[in-house]
């Protein structure tokens, strides 16, 4: 074998090795991104179902409690305990320290154009939970969402925001934070 043929074969192997390394790195990033998105979408679906169920129970709590009773922390804690138990049952990796929730009620007392808002802050207080906030201020859009009832008042609105802190695999790779998964549900009251 001549020296020229030997150099050509070594160069070809070197180029192939470099190309293989680049393709393997690219494929690893795609697999990491896909795995991260699948996990986050699964948790998002669970949170969506739970936030909708929680806002339904919050709306219908007048059937469980005194009809004129205001939403209070005790009622919200009972609802939130049910939500956490359901999440723990459907999500084996669920940890309450990574979970946070906000429960809001908008009422129109007196002036149908000026709502008042009751917010029950997060049930689970933790350093990570400070990043979980409702995605919008319901008070700013409440007049547009709430219809006027037969009695001439506006119907109350309820909003439940559930958050769960997840690993940030892909985000760490690209220097972003995609760790919070948030689900928000709004419902008209009776």
Count of CB atoms within 10 A of residue 69's CB? 11
Q: What is the pLDDT of residue 127?
A: 45
Q: How many domains does the chain have?
A: 1
Distance CA 8, CA 111 (A): 85
- 64-99 pLDDT, tens per residue? 665 555 677 788 888 889 999 999 998 888 888 888
Confidence of residue 36 (pLDDT cuts 50, 70, 90): confident
Distance CA 133, CA 127 (A): 13
- The rounded distance, in Å, linking the Cα atoms of 22 and 73 is 55
* pLDDT, tens digit, 9 for 90 and up, residues 151-164: 777 778 888 888 88
CA distance 17 to 2: 23
- Segment 98-151, tens digit of pLDDT: 888 888 887 777 666 666 666 666 555 544 555 677 766 666 676 667 777 777
Q: Residue 87 belongs to what domain range? A: 3-188
| pLDDT top residue among 189 and 103 | 103
Verdict on whether the full-model pTM lies above 0.85 = no
Give me the count of residues in the chain: 190
For residue 150, what pLDDT is reported?
A: 74
């Amino acid at each position: 074998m001549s020296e020229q043929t030997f150099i050509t074969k070594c160069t070809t192997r070197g180029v192939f090795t470099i190309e293989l390394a680049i393709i393997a790195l690219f494929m690893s990033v795609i697999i990491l991104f896909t795995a991260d998105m699948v996990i986050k979408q699964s948790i998002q679906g669970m949170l969506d179902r739970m936030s909708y169920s929680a806002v339904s129970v919050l709306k219908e709590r007048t059937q469980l409690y005194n009809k004129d009773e205001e939403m209070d922390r005790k009622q919200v804690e009972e609802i939130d305990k049910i939500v956490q138990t359901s999440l723990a049952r459907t999500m084996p990796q669920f940890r309450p320290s990574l979970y946070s929730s906000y429960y809001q009620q908008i009422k129109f007392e007196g002036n149908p154009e000026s709502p008042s808002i009751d917010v029950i802050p997060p049930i689970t207080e933790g350093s990570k939970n400070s990043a979980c906030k409702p995605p919008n201020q319901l008070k700013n859009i409440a007049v547009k969402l709430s219809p006027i009832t037969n009695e001439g008042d506006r119907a109350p609105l309820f909003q439940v925001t559930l958050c769960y802190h997840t690993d940030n695999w892909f985000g760490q790779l690209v220097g972003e934070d995609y760790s919070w998964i948030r689900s928000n549900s709004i419902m008209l009251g009776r």
